[in-house]
Amino acid sequence: MPTLRTTAQRLGTATALALFLTPLPLLAQDQDTDQDASSAQEGATSQASSKQASSESIPLVPGTPTWDSFHGQLNAQKYSPLDQINADNVGDLEKVWEIHTGDVSDGSGDLPPTVWSATPVFANDTLYIGTPFYRILALDPATGEQKWSFDTESTLEAMTQPALKSRGVAYWEAEDPKEGESCQKIVYLGTMDAQLFAVDADTGEKCTSFADNGVLDVNQWNDTHDKWPLSLLQPPTVVGDHLILGWAGKDWAFEQAPPGTVFSINARTGEREWSFNALSDEMREKSGTANVWTHMSADEENGLVYLPISSPSPNYWGGNRTEDVPLATSTTALDVDTGEVVWSRQWVHHDVWDYDINAAPTLMDITVDGEEIPALIQATKQGFLFVVNRLTGEDVWPIEERPVPQGDGSVKGEEYADTQPFPTKPAPLLDQSEKPKVWKLADVVGGGECSALWDDLTYEGMYTPPTTKGEGALAYPDSAGGVQWGGVAFDPVSQTAIVNTSHIVQTIKLYDREAYEKADSGSGNESGFAPQTGAPYGMRLEVARNWLGMPCWEPPFGEVVALDMKTGDVKWRRPIGSSQQYGFFMPESWGSPTIGGPAVTAGNLVFIGASMDAKLRAYSLDSGEELWEDQAEAPAVANPAVYEYDGREYVAFVAGGNSILKDQVGDQVVVYALPEDDE
């Protein structure tokens, strides 16, 4: 039987402050057909090496400026080789156009509030935008003038989320478009009720040859614990002619839930090609989720798609799933043509903290100790950055299994993992080894409220299990991250990685059923009470704040960090943004929690929104110095886009807001460029 190393050689070488402010064995198995590991591995090896022999080389970093997907490129580097805007002239950046879509709600009327995290997609000489009312806008990239719009006429109900939510559209085009034929270029938009729409990228007309007259009902495959629709809030990941499709559901609601199937759909016809299940048939019957609700990345040359897989249900009690669930809370590499597992690494064993892998791993070629390594970096909610060989899943720097706390015995039925994986490099983005210090200012203002809370919270390190005692367990970082879905950006020239991270403390408490019914006082967006119906325990997750809403832990509350990926060491780090409460902005030196990720350019710049203060910023890639800022109408909780049109470089932001950060929503698309005489 070939080893995983042989397989790699054959493949090729190439959530809520909101309110405020030895490794696991590598896996190769076919979950759909229950093949054993050996036969699945051999099949994946044979198919992948055959495919590689017949395909042309596809560079990891596109040879031309590309921003045609959620993370800019399939490698999720969020990198542009454009340098017209650079560290010397970015201070001259000016707004060249903006639009307001009208698709916005603050929740005070008949509609739920909106959460808008759509990366603008530049393709086909057009800027494509998907809105939280499930419309597609095709815009002139230089002026913002509307070319066409398409309305899915979807039901605007918060079926699986506390808000109307969208992360935008996906784009596909035929390798050899046939002139005069429609739908040789397609834009896709999913809806909360599990409908995937395909429209012609030139005209905005539905592609009648796709699925059922241009609409694919993904919920037809929702056949186990059908408690909610398979909400399509994240656009598909487009790899060749494949649409790789995950879905979102309800956190914390049920013990048994729809299990996390990923589908490969033919981009032209909408036909299902393969399905991948992260849970075994037995586990699917008693648990659920372990889904992929965020974007994925892909190595096209080697025929691999990388899945960031979430935790099983219920999130904060695992007595129904004490056996190994090896693909849950993992990064898993699949053969894109077959859906077979090539390798998998689990980053949290027996996850009872809702530590979903929530961002696409960023693919990169790095030089470590003189050796060129095809790598990926997986950011996590825990503030860890796991770096492995993207072809084999093997460590680049050692990842150690270390003993972790085993709980206080108050939660019945649990069997906690003895160890958890810890990366040795890069170092954790925040120190989870000790209980965060109480912020003296918040404690004084709160009349000792914070220190009293700290005394009543259990903390033995990051993997402190949930408890029924006192005020519960302190969670740091919490399930909101750490790092959120924006993920890691990467400059392939200097081999510098850029990541924004939130420093948030929350409290987790479990309640038996009788106690939960008495305690339940409702929930918000990623906070409050949740029933975990069917499990013996309901739960409460809250941000650790005083009566005035000030965080009880010391700042900074969020940072941007740059890492040298040749050594795994930090190059620089700095607070990002200002936290806000009741209209008052705190000093920027205290930072802000963030949602949304960075973009990096060959102009030695990092562009990012993401912060509570709703500002847009540019930093020096070399030093971290802030070089430019502007005010948006709401927090830009989407990744920015960088593109070139008619010889001019543009930077585009969507400012839509997210109530996890604060109750401020927007419908603004805003685009910047240099004054034309400066270019």
- Residues 6+ away with beta carbon under 8 Å from 667: 100, 101, 102, 103, 104, 114, 116, 131, 656
**Which candidate in 30, 68, 337, 354 is catalytic?**
354
Backbone angles phi, psi at 650, to 5 degrees: -125, 150
Tokens standing for 84? 């017209």
Secondary structure of residue 624 in the 3-state scheme? coil
Q: Do residues 135 and 181 touch, judged by C-beta distance below 8 A?
A: no
Q: Do residues 312 and 535 touch, judged by C-beta distance below 8 A?
A: no
Alpha-carbon distance of 256 to 286, in angstroms, equals 6
Please give the helix or strand (H or E) that residue 140 lies within, else none: none
Written in H, E and C, the secondary structure of 456-515 is CCECCCCCCCCECCCCCEEECCCCCCCCCCCCCEEECCCCEEEEEEECCCEEEEEEEHHH
Strand boundaries in 552-645, DSSP class E: 558-564, 569-575, 580-581, 584-585, 599-601, 605-608, 615-620, 626-631, 641-645
The identity of residue 431, as a single letter, is D
Burial of 633-672, coded b for 16+ CB within 10 Å and e otherwise, reads bbbbbbbbbbbbeeebbbbbbbbbbbbbbbebbbbbbbbb
**CA-based max dimension of the chain:** 72
Secondary structure of residue 53 in the 3-state scheme? helix
Tokens standing for 343? 């390798």
Relative to beta strand 527-530, strand 94-100 is unpaired
Torsion angle, alpha carbons of 331, 419, 311, 48, to 10: 20
Helix then strand count (H, E) for the chain reads 6, 43
State yes or no: is 512 an active-site residue. Answer: no
Secondary structure of residue 385 in the 3-state scheme? strand
Please give the DSSP secondary-structure letter assigned to residue 277: E
Strand boundaries in 285-380, DSSP class E: 297-299, 304-308, 330-335, 341-346, 362-368, 371-379
The identity of residue 35, as a single letter, is Q
Vertex 114: Cα angle to 108 and 117 (nearest 5)? 160
Alpha-carbon distance of 1 to 6, in angstroms, equals 10
Q: Do residues 54 and 306 touch, judged by C-beta distance below 8 A?
A: no
Catalytic residues: 354
